[in-house]
Amino acid sequence: MYSLDEASIMKKNQLEIKNLTLFRGNRCLFKDLSFAINNGEVVIVKGDNGSGKTSLLRAVAGLIEPDHGCVYWNKKDITNIRQLYHQNMVWLSHKHGFKGQLNIEENLYYESGLREGFSNSFDETFEKLSLTSIKHQPFNTLSAGQKMRASIARLILSKASLCLLDEPTSNLDTKGRDFVNFWINYHINNGGMCILATHQSSPIKSSIKEIVLS
Amino acid sequence: MNSFKELSMWNGFKKMLYRDLLHSTKNLSQLMNPLLLFILISASFPFAINIDENQLMIIGPGVIWVIAILSFLLTLNNLYKDDMEDGSLDYMLLSAQPLPVLTFAKILAHWFLSGLPLVILCPFVSVFYQLSIDVSMLLSLTLLIGTLALSLIGSIGASLTISSQNNTTLLSLLVLPITIPILIFGAKTVVLYQNGHTSLTGLYLIGAYCMFALSFSPFVSAASLRIGSD
């Protein structure tokens, strides 16, 4: 099993979203949305396609400036403590952010420069995600499911306490899906936090808050 | 000690530079196209106009500079566009490293693979214009400093236009006016040297322009990337 020996996960953290309002064009995606998430909690964001799940995650990550409201990490506005916040946060989306011509190992080697404490145990993680046989293959030759597995490898290796996951189980086979669900449960039980945007009902056993966007 | 090493900005800078260089070398056609354009236009120019050796020597530096700038402008589009499309720009923006450090690494990688090859090719291209060795070396030197300044300035333009769909023309329109001083001083320096004047004044001026661009370009690029990713 795992050894998440990362102190930052154990440290008490809180993410608070206050009165978040976001417009896309003239359409209001959500208005005055507030919630908080503490260690060991999961927030599941549900909604139809185009209801603003990804936009909400992007706003929480700090990629989009919301029209109104703020995101606070440990009571501090994230726009003032970007580096500290991003050190504790990892993002997973359908755009994997890996270079197509480079292989998984080269891509992850680059990622390890982007944050402190990025794990070196590449091989161990590849083994768990059945990526070992394809780790030297260029990323754009991989299948959609394999690409998602590579993204999940980054998630695990980054050892961040807050995970923002946009459809983490899309394109995965049953084994892969089981592993992701197992990992999220494991992460939460170790004091991590997750915000999960998904269509599927998720078998996460821990304390769950649900947000439904319409 | 180990954790300090991992924290360092140098680590992020180094890995960004390494990834971009590696990525570009695996994308050879993208790398070669502007260079081939540079060689082809420079080589065909003397054949198209029927003038004698002395006149060719006079127009040579100016023509090479213009072609270098235009072929260089073509490469700017790829600076952030690729990252935007495959989503790695998001991960760059979400990294714990200061963004200007990463943009500076990207600019430098871009210059290594787009500017430096032009500088290396310059002495060979000069042969078509009957330029003597010292003149072509000086031309290369002005291009060396000039293309670095262009990479820095161009990065601002490229980061400002990432969110627009068809940005090549817009980018050229935006960047070209700012690059005119480099073109004037770059070409003029070589012409002055050919006429027996000192080349130092021109070199100092392009150098100053380059340093000026260096002082703010990574920061401005980083800021406009944040806005543009919205």
The CA distance from B96 to the nearest CA of chain A, in Å, is 4
pLDDT higher than threshold 80 for residue A202: no
Q: How many contacts, defined by CB atoms under 8 Å, are there between A and B?
A: 87
Smallest Cβ distance to B87: which of A62, A96, A102?
Answer: A96
Predicted pLDDT at A27: 84
pLDDT higher than threshold 70 for residue A207: no
Structure confidence at residue B77 as a pLDDT band (50, 70, 90): confident
Smallest Cβ distance to A113: which of B16, B86, B88?
Answer: B16
Report the mean per-residue pLDDT for chain A: 84
Q: In percent, how much of chain A has pLDDT > 90?
A: 3
How many domains would you assign to chain A? Answer: 1
Residue B133 at interface with chain A, using a CB cutoff of 8 Å: no
Contact B23 A87 (CB under 8 A): no
Predicted pLDDT at A201: 67
Contact B92 A117 (CB under 8 A): no
The CA distance from B102 to the nearest CA of chain A, in Å, is 9
Structure confidence at residue A6 as a pLDDT band (50, 70, 90): very low
Predicted pLDDT at A206: 61
Residue A65 at interface with chain B, using a CB cutoff of 8 Å: yes
Give phi and psi for A115, each to the nearest 5: -145, 155
A30 in a structural domain? yes
Predicted pLDDT at B220: 95
Contact A95 B90 (CB under 8 A): yes
Q: Which of chain A's residues have a Cβ under 8 Å away from the Cβ of B89?
A: 97
Residue ranges making up the domain that contains A26: 6-213
A45 in a structural domain? yes
pLDDT higher than threshold 60 for residue B5: no
Structure confidence at residue A8 as a pLDDT band (50, 70, 90): very low
pLDDT in tens, A35-81: 889 888 888 888 888 788 888 898 999 888 888 888 999 888 988 88
Contact B94 A65 (CB under 8 A): no
Residue B94 at interface with chain A, using a CB cutoff of 8 Å: yes
Pick the residue of B91, B93, B97, B224 with the most A CBs within 10 A to test the interface with A by mutation: B91
pLDDT higher than threshold 60 for residue B136: yes
The CA distance from A171 to the nearest CA of chain B, in Å, is 17
Predicted pLDDT at A5: 47
Structure confidence at residue A205 as a pLDDT band (50, 70, 90): low
DSSP chain A: ------HHHHS--EEEEEEEEEEETTEEEEEEEEEEEETT-EEEEEE-TTSSHHHHHHHHHTSS--SEEEEEETTEETTTSHHHHHHTEEEE-SS----TTSBHHHHHHHHTTTSTT----HHHHHHHTT-GGGTTSBGGGS-HHHHHHHHHHHHHHH--SEEEEESTTTT--HHHHHHHHHHHHHHHHTT-EEEEE-SSPP---S-EEEEEE-
Q: What is the ipTM of this complex?
A: 0.88
Residue of A nearest to B82 (CA): A99
Q: What is the mean pLDDT of residues B170-180?
A: 88
Predicted pLDDT at A38: 87
Q: What is the mean pLDDT of residues A13-19?
A: 88
Structure confidence at residue B67 as a pLDDT band (50, 70, 90): very high
**Whether the Cβ atoms of residue A14 and residue A35 lie closer than 8 Å to each other:** no
Rg (CA), chain A: 17
Q: What is the CATH number of the domain that holds A177?
A: 3.40.50.300
Nearest to A112 by CA among A150, A157, A56, A165: A157
Q: Which of chain B's residues have a Cβ under 8 Å away from the Cβ of A107?
A: 19
pLDDT higher than threshold 90 for residue B78: no
Report which of residues A188 and A11 the model is more confident about.
A188
Residue of A nearest to B27 (CA): A101
Structure confidence at residue B213 as a pLDDT band (50, 70, 90): very high
A14-24 vs A68-73, strand pairing mode: antiparallel
Residue A135 at interface with chain B, using a CB cutoff of 8 Å: no
Residue B52 at interface with chain A, using a CB cutoff of 8 Å: no
Smallest Cβ distance to A116: which of B16, B89, B96?
Answer: B96
A1 in a structural domain? no
Q: Point out the least confidently predicted range of A10-14, B114-118, B207-211.
A: A10-14
pLDDT in tens, B140-166: 999 999 999 999 999 999 999 888 777
Report which of residues A20 and A3 the model is more confident about.
A20
Predicted pLDDT at A10: 56
The CA distance from A84 to the nearest CA of chain B, in Å, is 7
A31 in a structural domain? yes
Q: Which of chain A's residues have a Cβ under 8 Å away from the Cβ of B163?
A: none
Helix axes B168-194, B200-228, angle to 10 degrees: 170
A127 in a structural domain? yes
Structure confidence at residue A179 as a pLDDT band (50, 70, 90): confident
Report which of residues A206 and B219 the model is more confident about.
B219
A85 in a structural domain? yes
Q: In percent, how much of chain B has pLDDT > 90?
A: 50
A74 in a structural domain? yes
Residue A3 at interface with chain B, using a CB cutoff of 8 Å: no
DSSP 3-state of B94: coil
* Residue A48, burial from CB neighbour count under 10 angstroms (0-12, 13-18, 19+): exposed
